[in-house]
Each structure stands twice: as structure tokens, then as C-alpha cells.
Chains A and B, each alone.
Chain A
Amino acid sequence: AQSVTQLGSHVSVSEGALVLLRCNYSSSVPPYLFWYVQYPNQGLQLLLKYTTGATLVKGINGFEAEFKKSETSFHLTKPSAHMSDAAEYFCAVSGAGTSYGKLTFGQGTILTVHP
């Protein structure tokens, strides 16, 4: 069984400030981890994913996340927020092999960016 917990349903930052969105997971198998962004009334866009290998993953638009097995975490960061980053972000977990792509999502975090 797998689950994802995103700490904070709403995060507000100033433009240019650090963005930190928290994600903790639970998985009985080695996890594959994902961050997606969703703009209003749109589908999902993949920001980054961790499958195997390097634990620090760099994604699009300056985002990165670090897989920490000991903490069961996969927090998303961006050094400097832009107004265009305002959206809802989802962390998700999947298994490997035939379970790959079968995603369990967190509750989502709405990011607001203030000028």
C-alpha cells in the first residue's frame, strides 16, 4: 500500500522568495516519486520525478526535489518564486514494473505568490 501526505494545503510566498512544498510518503515497495503542477481548469504537468539513481532531482522551471529515504520525504523547492509559479502542486507515488504509472496522489498544495 502507498500513501502521500502533503504538509500544508496552502503556501504563500513573496516573489523572489524560496519555495518549499513538503511531501512525505509511505510505501511498502521502493517508491517512484513525482511532482506535478496543475493550473486552474487544466491537466497535469510533470515537474520532475525520482525513479532510481541520484537522489537530488532537477526538473523544469527551476524546481528540484530531494529523495530522502530515511525521512520518507520528497520535498519540492525552488530558490526564487515567480508569479507564474502560482498553481496547485501534487506529489505522487508509484510502484515499479507493472505498477509504474499507477499513482497515489497527495492532497495538493496551492501555492500563492505575492508581488
Chain B
Amino acid sequence: GAVVSQHPSWVICKSGTSVKIECRSLDFQATTMFWYRQFPKQSLMLMATSNEGSKATYEQGVEKDKFLINHASLTLSTLTVTSAHPEDSSFYICSARDGPTEAFFGQGTRLTVV
């Protein structure tokens, strides 16, 4: 299947700083990408839908000013966690849609805020 690359794989940051996570579709163009969050020992929850060239659509309860999503090209979406706090520590994972019936996940990013 197609490849979605997520970077970095893990990151440790200090409380109050911002962290940017990249999600790239390497061999296809993705007009739509999705961002999920997985807390330890929990399931994955959709945070937002990222559409190329337009504003992201956030799920209920997700702060759009804290989790900034930019989808400026057909192969790249970024998630920036602003003013990170320890409670933002989580596993963030993106997926990219390739056509009407295919979507592929990145390998995820483990964020630890200290």
C-alpha cells in the first residue's frame, strides 16, 4: 500500500513550548488527512479532519487554538501542539486518504511533555 510518513517518531518537550508534527503522503496526493490521539491504554480518538487548502474541521472538545492544523499542500499536513502541558502527552497519529476507499496511517508520534 501507499506510504504515510510521520515525523518525528517521538519528541520530548518542556511544558509551555510548542511542538510540530508532520504527516506526509510519500507516493500519493491526499486532499484529506485525519489526526487522531491515543492516550495510554486507551483507544484512538479523532481530533480533526484536515483538508488541503481549507480550514481543518475539529471534533467536539478539541481546542482548535491549541492544536493547530495546517494542510498547505497535497502531501503534507502539520499538527502543532501549542503551549504544551503534561496532559497533552499522548500518541498522535495521522492518516491520509488516497481515493474513495483507501486510507493509510503514519507510524505515529509519541509526545512527552515534561
Which of A's residues lie within 8 Å of B, judged by CB? Answer: 32, 36, 41-44, 46, 51, 90, 94, 96-98, 100-108
Those of B3-55 within 8 Å (CB) of chain A = 6, 32, 34, 36, 42-46, 49
Q: Is the interface of A mostly helix, strand, loop or mixed?
A: loop
Tell me, rounded to whole Å, the shortest Cβ–Cβ distance linking A45 to chain B: 8
Contacts of A101 in B (CB 8 A): 32, 34, 95, 97, 103
Query: How many residues on the B side are at the interface (Cβ–Cβ under 8 A)?
Result: 22
Q: Does A43 contact B105, Cβ atoms closer than 8 Å?
A: yes
Q: Does B34 contact A103, Cβ atoms closer than 8 Å?
A: yes
In the complex, 24 of the A-B residue pairs with CB atoms within 8 angstroms, ordered by the A residue number, are A41-B110, A42-B107, A43-B105, A43-B107, A44-B44, A44-B93, A44-B105, A46-B105, A51-B101, A90-B43, A96-B100, A97-B100, A100-B100, A100-B103, A101-B32, A101-B95, A101-B97, A102-B49, A103-B36, A103-B44, A103-B103, A105-B43, A106-B43, A108-B43
Q: Roughly how many angstroms separate A108 CA and B107 CA in the complex, as a whole number?
A: 18
Q: Does B32 contact A43, Cβ atoms closer than 8 Å?
A: no
Q: Does B106 contact A100, Cβ atoms closer than 8 Å?
A: no
Q: Is the interface of B mostly helix, strand, loop or mixed?
A: strand
User: Assuming A51-B101, A101-B95, what are 11 further A-B pairs, CB within 8 angstroms?
Assistant: A42-B107, A42-B108, A43-B93, A44-B93, A98-B32, A102-B34, A103-B95, A105-B43, A105-B44, A105-B45, A108-B43
Tell me, rounded to whole Å, the shortest Cβ–Cβ distance linking A94 to chain B: 8
Which of B's residues lie within 8 Å of A, judged by CB? Answer: 1, 6, 32, 34, 36, 42-46, 49, 93, 95, 97, 100-101, 103, 105-108, 110
The one of B46, B100, B105, B110 in contact with A104, judged by C-beta atoms closer than 8 angstroms, is: B46
Q: Roughly how many angstroms separate A44 CA and B107 CA in the complex, as a whole number?
A: 7
Q: Does B44 contact A100, Cβ atoms closer than 8 Å?
A: no
Contacts of B100 in A (CB 8 A): 96-97, 100
List the A residue with the shortest CB-CB distance to B103. A101
List the B residue with the shortest CB-CB distance to A99. B49
Q: Roughly how many angstroms separate A36 CA and B43 CA in the complex, as a whole number?
A: 12
The one of B34, B43, B49, B95 in contact with A107, judged by C-beta atoms closer than 8 angstroms, is: B43
